[in-house]
Amino acid sequence: MTSSQNNQIGVALAIAGALCFSTKAVFVKLAYRLEVDTITLLLLRMSLALPFYLVTWWISSRKQSPKPYPPKSWLLLIVSAVLGYYFSSLLDFAGLQYIDASLERLILFIYPSLVAIMAHFWIGTKVKGREWTTIGISYLGLILLFGKQLITMSWSPGFWTGVFLVLGCAFTFALYLILSQQLIPVFGVMRFTSLSMIIACISVIVHYGIEHGGSFYLQHYPWQLWAIALAMAFIATVIPSYLVNMAIARIGAAKAAIIASVGPLSTITLAHWLLGERLGMLQIVGGLCIVASITFLSWQSKKKAA
């Protein structure tokens, strides 16, 4: 496989992963209509995803005999798992209690910039001018996407608390992506993703158990909520977690994070189709900016690899 083909596959995987992840917000909105609290919804999502990761880990272990990994690699794996899909999610959900979702999206999507900076100083990945240009154009698109909501949003007393919580979410997720780039070559994509997500799922289950005194009484929730949670577990968790890590293995964490900017555009489009939310001209222009930025990055990468 040529470098150009490898890059194109990596970009396609990153886009597919971002599109799958973007469905999470729609599933969450549908679930909240059924009066479920945040930690319970997170528990349903991760506990229903857990069997998929266990099966994938078992299959990958059968195909390739596990080899001994250094303790440092195991420690970094545990840290990345807890940061990326447990602690980061808790910070995000906590922040949404204080600030509007539109502002949360804008703050959260500084993480591509954080990944680029970390990649430069931590693992020596050179971030080119075209990549910073892509980040700038995509962020302009995000501002246009959510500009109307920002103008009309209410500034609650806990505004800055929410801002810093979501900033913490962006930082921890960026750190997870950088650690992923370092650990994927050690464990392999399938094994790293399966193990890290198993740890994250167990962390959420333990958290729920502690918060609810060891009680896991969930039978009273309607089947519609279980159906939404199952769809969110598979479509918005299992599938994209593998796709994104496969993309990182091919094009690196920085480019994969930049391409993930297509996620909010997909979320707004899905919300328009499935939830009846209005889509204005500014949002369309913002979406075109994001698509243009990712197309520019993909074209430049293909040109370089050719």
Single out the residue of 130, 227, 244, 238 nearest to residue 184, CA to CA: 244
Scored b (16 or more CB within 10 A) or e, 167-181 reads bbbbbbbbbbbbbbb
Overall pTM surpassing 0.85 (yes/no): no
pLDDT at 66: 63
Return d(Cα 70, Cα 72) in angstroms, integer: 5
Number of Cα atoms under 13 Å in the Cβ half of residue 4: 7
Kindly list the domain boundaries of the chain, sorted by start residue: 3-305
pLDDT at 239: 96
**pLDDT means per 10 residues in the chain (306 residues)?**
77 89 81 84 93 92 75 92 88 77 71 81 72 75 68 68 86 90 90 93 92 81 93 94 92 81 72 69 72 65 51
Residue 35's CB is within 10 A of a number of other CB atoms, namely 9
Scored b (16 or more CB within 10 A) or e, 140-165 reads ebbebbbbeeeeeeeeeeeeeebbeb
**Is 163 strand, coil or helix?**
helix
CB 252 within 8 A of CB 116: no
Which secondary-structure segment (H or E) carries 132? helix 129-152
pLDDT at 225: 94
Whether the CA torsion 103, 106, 109, 110 is positive or negative: it is: negative
Q: Return all residues near 145 (Cβ < 8 A) that are at least 6 apart.
A: 105, 264, 265, 268, 282, 283, 286, 287, 290
